[in-house]
Amino acid sequence: AGRAGGAIDPVDFLKQPQTILRVTTWIFSIVVFGSIVNECYVNKGSDDPELLCIFNENESACSYGIAVGIIAFFGCIFFFVVDLYFQQISSVKDRKRAVLLDLGFSGFLSFLWFVAFCFLANQWQRTKMSKGVSQGADAARAAITFSFFSIIVWVVLAVKALQRYRLGTDMSLFATDQFAADPSAAYPGYPTGSGIESTETYQSPPFTETLDTNPKGYQVPAY
């Protein structure tokens, strides 16, 4: 594509809304699985060394929250790199695949976070408070809260990817930069030295001959 090979401005890249959203959801994923791993496994009793999941002692709830957080963590890193080198992709098809992959992954993560929020919130409501549970209550609430925030951010990322795809179908993302940015602007003319010369290029024919109507030695016969 025409934009391929352009220089990457780190400052402008970090200021892009899409980059800010990816960093935000990356931090949210760390909070969710970090909170569950570090503080959401508690002892059932003071004399019982066995660690149980704080969410109604349901191991599936903790495992699911950790799994979604890790998937989101590495997914954010992958698509952060894709966004960084997107302008270096010269193939139109590869750009389209990258945007579609971003759209599908963002929508899929939105669904996973929605399930995680509902699952964790439901199990937390059923949890019986105890001394061990009260110690990890703040971490459990943080995991539920940031799961909800993650839904919003991933939905916004999916919408941004959809907008990029629509721009691509309008030939403003996947096409070359030779087209004018303003739809009402005229199509650019041929540049100087493009191979199309004006009629004034040659001032005289390359081979000049003086044509005499009556060459020497020849007389017009009279009838």
pLDDT of residue 220 exceeding 70, the answer is no
Tell me if the pTM is above 0.75: no
pLDDT of residue 69 exceeding 60, the answer is yes
CATH of the domain at 40: 1.20.140
User: Is residue 148 in some structural domain?
Assistant: yes
Of the two residues 139 and 51, the one the predictor is more confident about is 139
Percent of the chain with pLDDT over 90: 45
* Calpha distance 127→68 (Å, rounded): 21
What is the per-residue pLDDT across 172-205, written as a single tens digit (0 to 9) for each?
A: 445 444 344 455 555 445 445 444 444 444 444 5
Helix (H, G, I), strand (E, B) or coil at 2: coil
The domain in which residue 123 lies consists of: 10-169
Of the two residues 15 and 112, the one the predictor is more confident about is 112
Of the two residues 127 and 8, the one the predictor is more confident about is 127
User: Is residue 213 in some structural domain?
Assistant: no
What are the structure tokens assigned to 44, written together?
A: 């059932």
Average confidence (pLDDT) over 1-13: 63
User: Is residue 102 in some structural domain?
Assistant: yes
* Calpha distance 219→201 (Å, rounded): 40
What pLDDT is stored for residue 121 in this prediction? 95
* Calpha distance 143→31 (Å, rounded): 7
* Calpha distance 62→35 (Å, rounded): 10
What are the structure tokens assigned to 148, written together?
A: 């909800």
Q: pLDDT class for 88, splitting at 50, 70, 90?
A: confident
What pLDDT is stored for residue 1 in this prediction? 46
Q: pLDDT class for 119, splitting at 50, 70, 90?
A: very high
What are the structure tokens assigned to 56, written together?
A: 């109604």
User: Is residue 119 in some structural domain?
Assistant: yes
What is the per-residue pLDDT across 38-50, written as a single tens digit (0 to 9) for each?
A: 989 888 766 667 7
Q: Which of 43-47, 57-61, 157-161 has the lowest mean pLDDT?
A: 43-47
User: Is residue 86 in some structural domain?
Assistant: yes
* Calpha distance 55→143 (Å, rounded): 11
Of the two residues 54 and 179, the one the predictor is more confident about is 54
What pLDDT is stored for residue 219 in this prediction? 57
CB contact set of 88 (below 8 Å; sequence gap of 6+): 4, 5, 6, 8
User: Is residue 57 in some structural domain?
Assistant: yes
pLDDT of residue 129 exceeding 80, the answer is yes
User: Is residue 129 in some structural domain?
Assistant: yes
What pLDDT is stored for residue 62 in this prediction? 94
User: Is residue 222 in some structural domain?
Assistant: no
Whether the Cβ atoms of residue 55 and residue 123 lie closer than 8 Å to each other: yes
Total number of domains constituting the chain = 1
Report the mean per-residue pLDDT for the chain.
Answer: 79
